[in-house]
Structure 1
Amino acid sequence: MIVVICGPPGAGKTSIATRLHQALALEYPAHTITLTHSDDYSRRTYERLYEEVRDTASDEIAIVDGTFYRRRWQTRFQSLPDVRFVHVTASLETCLARNRARDEADRIDEQGVHVVYREFSEPAADVRIETDDCAVSEAVERVAATIRSWQ
């Protein structure tokens, strides 16, 4: 199964994806659980993410963390078997505040946050999480419970 955690910068994707990876590794010790972040790539990001997870076996869970704000990236991943989208979102003000609170090396140019937020094509998501109203722990439990129902 491939679980795509997508949404604008600062929405909480990476926090949720990282904690979800930890929770699933404990819950499914016999499964291979992988986590791939779009931030790990500086070029051809979505092509490389696709290459990383396209051969995910049926007994594996691959978590992919990225904005996926362009429809074409979503569509390419939706062509894979057993892929699910989790749309993580928050208000623009929250995304900007969280981005400002990041370490300087991890901070995104504020204009970039505005552009991605404005141009974000909302996916046909299996789960939608509003992090203005939902703590990371609650979001992780919601996604983990949904993964259990998919299996």
Structure 2
Amino acid sequence: MTTRDRGVILLICGPPGAGKTTIAARLRRRLESRDRPVRLHHSDDFSSRTYEQLYERVSDDPADAITIVDGTFYQREWQVQFETLGTVRFVHVTASLETCLERNRSRSDPIEEQGVHVVYREFDDPEDALEIDTDACGVEAAVDRIVASLDA
């Protein structure tokens, strides 16, 4: 069964500065060009109860849509919670700690570096995730890999 047959929830997870938001935005454009309804939710849009609010938003998305969720999801409990919503596929976006710190510093609104260190150190890898190392893989290649995994 391909993504044309049912809705899928893609959890784009990983440490801050790994490239999640950039990949999620480009993926959305690519999937929309295939005439599929696509929803994109960013954890950065919420300042409190982040994963509870993301869960509520995603659970309201149409069943035929591809839903992309961009967040660290570094704790297993958040990953497991989203699996209750249906067909969930994890994309673990990563990069070296140095790359993540450098990218974070270049943001218009960087998070505290200690936060990057904590998420990087405590990240609980999701099971059966497509792993994308953005130190070795560019954005277009990453999106190609994700789309290919959806069509498999």
TM-score (normalizing by structure 2): 0.91
- State the AA in 1 paired with 2:91: V
Corresponding residue for 2:82?
Answer: 77
Partners of 1:83 and 1:112 in 2: CA distance: 26
Q: Is residue 32 of structure 1 aligned with residue 37 of structure 2? A: yes
Alignment partner of 1:76: what SS?
Answer: helix
- The answer to whether the Cα contact below 8 Å between 2:28 and 2:38 also exists between their aligned partners in 1 is yes
Alignment partner of 1:69: what SS?
Answer: coil
Cα deviation, 1:47-93, whole Å, max 9, x if unaligned, reads 01001112444421000000001111011012221111100011101
Alignment partner of 2:33: what SS?
Answer: helix
- Over the matched positions of the two proteins, sequence identity in percent amounts to 59
Corresponding residue for 1:142?
Answer: 145
Q: Is residue 44 of structure 1 aligned with residue 39 of structure 2? A: no
Alignment partner of 1:64: what SS?
Answer: strand
Unaligned runs of 5+ in 2: 1-7
Note the 1:1-151 alignment, pairs <5 A.
1-27=8-34, 29=35, 31-103=36-108, 106-149=109-152
Give the Å deviation of 1:146.
1.2
TM-score (normalizing by structure 1): 0.92
Alignment partner of 1:75: what SS?
Answer: helix
> How many positions carry a matched residue from both structures?
145
Unaligned runs of 5+ in 1: none
Detail structure 1 runs of 4+ shifted over 3 Å in the superposition: 55-58
Cα deviation, 1:91-115, whole Å, max 9, x if unaligned, reads 1011001111112xx2111111011
- The answer to whether the Cα contact below 8 Å between 1:3 and 1:61 also exists between their aligned partners in 2 is yes
- State the AA in 1 paired with 2:142: A
Alignment partner of 1:129: what SS?
Answer: strand
